[in-house]
Amino acid sequence: MKKILYTLTLISSLLLNSQSQEQIQTRIDSITALDEVIIKSNTILGNKFVARNRTGAAYYLSTDELADFNYTDINRALNKIAGINFYEEDGFGLRPNISIRGTSPERSSKIAIMEDGILISPAPYSASSAYYFPSVARMQAVEVLKGSSQIQYGPYTTGGAINFVSTEIPKSFQGKISSSYGSFNSGQTYSTIGSSNENFGYMIEFLNYNSNGFKDLGEKLNTGFDINEITSKVRFNSSKDATINQSLELKFHYYDEVSNETYLGLTDSDFKKTPFHRYIGSGKDKMDAEHTQYLITHEIKISEKFNITSTLYHNGFKRNWYKLDDIVHNGKSQKISKVISNPDIYPGHIAFVKGELSEANNFLKVKANNREYVSQGIQTKIDYHWYGKNNSFNDLEIGLRLHYDEEDRFQWEDIYTMNYGVITIDKYGEKGSQGNRVSSANSFASYVMYKYKHKGFTITPGIRYESIKLERDDWGKSNPSRNKSDLSSRENNVSVLIPGIGVNYNLKNKVSIFGGIHKGYSPPGNSDGQKAEQSLNTELGARLSVNNVNSEIIFFQNNYSNLLGNDLAATGGFGELDPFNAGKALVNGLEFLLRTNLLENNKVSVPFSLSYTLTNAKFLSDFGSTQDIWGEVSDGDRIPYIPKHQLNSSISFQADKYEINLSGNYNGKFSTIANGSVEIPSYLIFDISFRYNLSSDITFRSKILNLFDKDYAVSRVPAGLRPGHPFGIYAGFEYRF
């Protein structure tokens, strides 16, 4: 750490001295150049202009777009962005499974997820499965890079990156209070207040989101959740007339969740009859989670052309997902995923978990998946830009990051009896008996990216370097005190160079052609000698902007030389998180986006958007998998849970006093095991929202999710069929001051 800080100081001094030794150009950067380079420290794009002019595919989901439906479900919010695949799990988006360009979607573990430019997964290197995910309801914007994230953002560089931009400190005193209520006793309360002057700014924010849930469990037991979040920011600025402008911002975020969620789904026959039912055997299942984040961000603007931003960060996350893991019938124990997927083989197990049998020689094994995570480090971005010959624009960006994260497992399993639906504790398990280990990672990451722009031509070559040390210390299942004499350890060291280049040619600001090629990478596990996931990724696209029509079409291909799968309980595995080799694979397809105004005058506006994604994802190797999500794989099988076709369209009618938004989302069918013998059918869902301005500062908002009340399945994992959100209506008021 000291060496890195010393290096940063030395670089700053050398560059500052070089500036003092030569005349600083008096020419002021154009607005376009500033938009392309000088962005806020917590963003990766900053605005739609930058997203439209990158040498790679990107999308900036703005504050206004997020406000159209005020979604709390990240899956619904991301629907309109081409190239993003996902499958739902709980109907509320609490634990999303997101893929970009066909990466494995399980727990969003193969994409770089950030909040304010900082990796936000609980342990992004050592345990990347995102059991904590930022709440889109408190975000100011969502930024998505597809394929073009290979240099600046890692360690997952194949599909892309998603950055959540939290509420920023306002430029002057202002605030907002909003509250809504609706179906399933669902409520949401949000409030924020903040202000700034020349030298000081602050922001405080609160969010509560809760619901009783839409599933039926026994005697009207709660199947919902209750989430509370607090965010605060404080910023100190140097005076405007200071020789060197600086700012220091401190951020604190706290998240608390209690959700009565389960891994247990339904058999096919039960889903057809009662898709929103939950088996009584899952009555003890509950997630209890807590997340904290501390950020200290320092920005120094040495000149108009030279900027250094450094962030010291700490993320802490702990959770205990207490949930049914095994069903015992007549003394024979079986995993719930096996029981639900094979009801004819395990009729007694099914009958017992439904509450149809007595407790005689039958038990429920409920595992306490108790884990604590740490993710912390320091990262610095150095940006220097200048004009060259013939008014060419040059930008050099250097990034450095020292990072440490760990996952501490200390799990146990309790035994319950159930007498015709009445659950009673039988025996408490020994602490640590179902997992007693710490997995950790130390990493150093750096990148250099250069941008050259002359007239309409832009080229951005770059290279990223990652050095990662992955470790695991296992104390065994009968060593709760963690006696070191019984310690078993393993270690894996990897390093990689990730090159890439992107180009863009803009013809009279109306048509642009862009493309790129880069290396895709995902870190391996901590088994000695295990190889990382690697691929060669290419894209070629065109953008059109004529009058009020904006469109783009992109062709992409990810060619995997070594695809990695993860052993997750969430996908029907054993939950050990150990990656396994899946051999060669190929993902290609196209993305199409169209945005326009069908009608626009002084009184009304009718915006329209259409996005379509075609994804062909297939294995190119034969192998066997212990996971239900893949099963036995043959060359040519489609990668499960990646639909071939996705389509989203929205249309709005906007007037001065009111606004109506209608959105339709089509998700094509997809296989749930590699051989394609089991599928989730396609579905088309409509949402509608309404806004009415009662006054300049009070707004009434309402929305309906699943407008036509369609019953549809969204997945077969973790264990059985799961439904999407049914018809739900929500309404509330917003007050701004």
Q: For residues 124 and 375, is the Cβ–Cβ distance under 8 A?
A: yes
pLDDT tens digit sequence for 52-63? 888 999 999 999
542 close to 594: Cβ distance less than 8 angstroms: no
Cα gap 513→55, rounded to integer Å: 9
pLDDT at position 664 is 98
pLDDT of residue 37: 55
Q: What is the pLDDT of residues 152-198, one digit of tens each?
A: 999 999 999 999 999 999 999 999 999 999 999 999 999 999 999 99
| Cα 649 from chain centre | 22
**Per-residue confidence (pLDDT) for residue 25, from 0 to 100:** 34
Find the helix or strand (DSSP H, E) in which 733 lies: strand 728-736
DSSP letters along 90-147, please?
Answer: SSS-SS-EEEETT---GGGTTSEEEETTEE-SSBTTTB---SS---GGGEEEEEEEEB
Q: Is the pLDDT of residue 547 over 60?
A: yes
pLDDT at 345: 97
The closest of 505, 489, 439 to 468, measured between CA atoms, is 439
Q: List, in order, residues 6 or more apart from 81 with CB less than 8 Å away.
A: 59, 61, 144, 611
How much is the pLDDT for 625? 62
In sequence order, which residues have a C-beta less than 8 Å from that of residue 306 and are 6 or more positions away?
15, 16, 19, 383, 384
Cα(545)–Cα(735) distance, rounded to whole angstroms?
Answer: 36
- Start-to-end C-alpha separation, the chain: 44
pLDDT digits (tens, 9 = 90+) for 640-686: 999 999 999 999 999 999 999 999 999 999 999 888 889 999 999 99
Average pLDDT over residues 407-428: 96
pLDDT band for 149, please (50, 70, 90 cuts): low
DSSP 345-397: T-HHHHHHHTT-S--TT-EEEEEEEEEEEEEEEEEEEEEEEEE-GGG-EEEEE
For residues 7 and 9, what is the distance between their CA atoms, to the nearest angstrom? 5
Cα separation, 579 vs 57, in Å, equals 29
SS3 68: helix
Q: Which residue has the higher pLDDT, 621 or 424?
A: 424
Average pLDDT, the chain: 91
**Residue in the block written with tokens 């998180």:** 577
Q: Is the separation of the CB atoms in 182 and 728 below 8 Å?
A: yes
- pLDDT of 654 reads 96
Q: Provide φ and ψ at 40, rounded to 5°.
A: -65, 150
Residues in CB range of 32: below 8 A, 6 or more apart: none
Q: Which residue segment(s) compose the domain that 241 sits in?
A: 2-736
| Residue among 132, 126, 143, 76 at smallest CA distance from 108 | 132
> For position 674, what pLDDT does the model report?
87
Q: How far is CA 9 from CA 150, 250, 296, 539, 587, in A?
A: 27, 21, 18, 38, 43
Q: Provide the CB-side half-sphere exposure for 616 (13 A, CA).
A: 10
Q: Is the pLDDT of residue 443 over 90?
A: yes
Where on the phi/psi map is residue 221: left (φ > 0), alpha (ψ -120 to 50), or beta?
beta
Q: Is 331 exposed, middle or buried (0-12, 13-18, 19+ CB in 10 A)?
A: exposed
Please report the pLDDT score of residue 731 as a whole number: 98
Question: Which residues are 248's β-sheet partners?
Answer: 236, 298
Closest CA to 100 of 139, 49, 153: 153
- For residue 721, pLDDT beyond 70: yes
Angle at 236 between CA 230 and CA 242, to 5 degrees: 160
- 590 CB-near residues (< 8 Å, 6+ apart): 553, 554, 555, 556, 613, 614
Question: Is there a contact between 650 and 662 (Cβ–Cβ < 8 Å)?
Answer: yes
C-alpha span between 315 and 292 (Å, rounded): 6
* CA separation for the pair 608, 650 (Å, rounded): 6
Asked whether the bond before 499 is cis by omega within 30 degrees of 0, the reply is: no
Q: For 292-340, what is each residue's pLDDT tens digit?
A: 999 999 999 999 899 999 999 999 999 999 999 999 999 999 999 999 9
- Amino acid making up residue 697: D
The set of residues, in sequence order, having a beta carbon less than 8 Å from that of 351 and lying 6+ positions away, is: 329, 357
CATH number at residue 79: 2.40.170.20
Task: Give the number of domains in the chain.
Answer: 1
Name the DSSP letter for residue 40: -
Alpha helices by DSSP H, listed for 179-305, are: 268-273
Distance CA 475, CA 177 (A): 49
pLDDT at 329: 97
* Six token digits for residue 530: 């295990």
573 confidence band (pLDDT: 50, 70, 90): low
Does residue 718 have a cis peptide bond before it, meaning omega lies within 30 degrees of 0?
A: yes
Residue 361 — φ and ψ, nearest 5°?
A: 60, 20
